[in-house]
Amino acid sequence: MTSSSLRFFNKKGKPLNFEYIGPTASGPLAATFNYLSDPTTITPTSGLMSLQNLSSNLIYLSVTDQSGFSIVPWFNSIVTSLTQGTKVMLTFTYYPAQTLICIISSASLSGGVITLTTSQNLGSPFISGGTPVYCSTRYENLPGGYYNGSIFFDEVSAGLYENEQLFIVQQFKDTSTGQIFLGFPHTGATGASNSPLWRTRWENSSYGDVDISDIIFTYQIVENDPELQGFPSILNFQNIAIPVIQNSNDVYVNGYIQTPESGTPSRSLQINVAINAGDIASNIYERKLIVEDITYGVQSPYKIAEILFYGQIVGEDSRLDVLHKI
């Protein structure tokens, strides 16, 4: 499961503000329910809800709505989502076309009543007794989504290379001190028995009618390549498996994965991408890189990021032609 606490940087150390695209809520998270308003109590019975103490940022819901539907599974999912750092917004819609949106900060259950604590309330809080109220939930930063972004190569002349590096770190909370720190990414598949691995792969190998598998590619540097008399070489790999860290004791605390800082290296995960202009004519190319966690197996990957690389090849640099003649 992808965490919204990943951070991305380019080769110059500048942050890449990739968009986090959360998953569509399903199961209990997507539940809708209906109540009648009862502003006279803080212990509403079956089918009732109360905003009596909304001025103190408190909402009270019976564990069953008007249709007898139990919202306890919804409550449990909300508590888990809040722990994982999800922004949870409960929307009340009622006659005549009124809306109240409440941002939930915590939730508790006691004696058949769910108490929601809110951090912000937007809209009209005045709902008369006996008014039918329709409830739905929206989410932001729900874990299990992926990051989406773009990286642009500098212009490169025909016959030359240009490269980009993508550096990925993760924000954690130290188990002992509670301090936030950055470190090497962990897999979200804490219960898997396989080796913890991320993988890069390309979604496309052509752009239009041009094969670009050797134009934009991921690479690794091989030191002391015997074929180059011991000099380093750049090797094109269409897929690269990258070991990450797995800690079965990782838990979410207030939106962060809590883990011992001593068990997480203070370094980044690096992905190398190059554009090889070769001798091709001037053109613009793009290729989409997928980063995914395959700890559960290659048949069950979950996407971490999709990044669109853009490259522009311009005419041959005249200085290169001079060098060829030397």
Task: Read off the pLDDT of residues 92-128 as tens digits, 9 standing for 90 and up.
Answer: 999 888 999 999 999 999 999 999 999 999 998 888 8
Count Cβ atoms within 10 A of the Cβ of residue 317 and give its class: 0-12 exposed, 13-18 middle, 19 or more buried.
middle
**197 pLDDT more than 60:** yes
Give the count of domains, the chain: 2
Sign, Cα dihedral of 304, 174, 83, 14: negative
Range of the domain at 227: 6-22+143-325
CA–CA distance, 33 with 70 (Å, rounded to integer): 9
| pLDDT of 310 | 94
pTM of this structure = 0.81
Same-domain check for residues 174 and 226: yes
From 90, 116, 140, give the residue that closes a domain. 140
pLDDT band at 326 (very low <50, low <70, confident <90, very high): low
| Strands 146-152 and 302-314, sheet pairing | parallel
Same-domain check for residues 10 and 71: no
Same-domain check for residues 135 and 147: no
**247 pLDDT more than 80:** yes
**323 pLDDT more than 50:** no
Q: Does residue 1 form part of some domain?
A: no
Mean pLDDT of 305-315: 90
**231 pLDDT more than 80:** no
| pLDDT of 317 | 58
Same-domain check for residues 200 and 63: no
Q: Does residue 271 form part of some domain?
A: yes
What percent of the residues of the chain are helix, what percent strand, and what percent coil, each to the nearest 5?
10, 50, 40
Range with lowest mean pLDDT among 55-69, 194-208, 266-280 = 266-280
From 140, 157, 172, give the residue that closes a domain. 140
From 92, 113, 140, give the residue that closes a domain. 140
Range with lowest mean pLDDT among 122-131, 234-243, 314-323 = 314-323
| Strands 132-140 and 283-293, sheet pairing | unpaired
| pLDDT of 281 | 59
Q: Does residue 244 form part of some domain?
A: yes
| pLDDT of 169 | 97
Q: Is the pLDDT higher at 301 or at 74?
A: 74
Same-domain check for residues 77 and 153: no
Same-domain check for residues 166 and 285: yes
Count of C-beta atoms within a 10 Å radius of residue 127: 23
Q: If residue 74 lies in a helix (H) or strand (E), which one and from where to where?
A: helix 72-83
Same-domain check for residues 79 and 161: no
Same-domain check for residues 15 and 91: no
Range with lowest mean pLDDT among 14-28, 48-62, 68-82, 170-184 = 14-28
Same-domain check for residues 70 and 162: no
Per-chain mean pLDDT for the chain: 89
Same-domain check for residues 293 and 178: yes
In 3D, which of 277, 274, 319 has the Cα closest to residue 153?
274
Ordered DSSP codes for 306-318: EEEEEEEEESPPH
Structure-block tokens of residue 42: 């803080």
| pLDDT of 189 | 66
| pLDDT of 300 | 83
Same-domain check for residues 186 and 316: yes
Same-domain check for residues 302 and 182: yes
CA–CA distance, 142 with 25 (Å, rounded to integer): 8
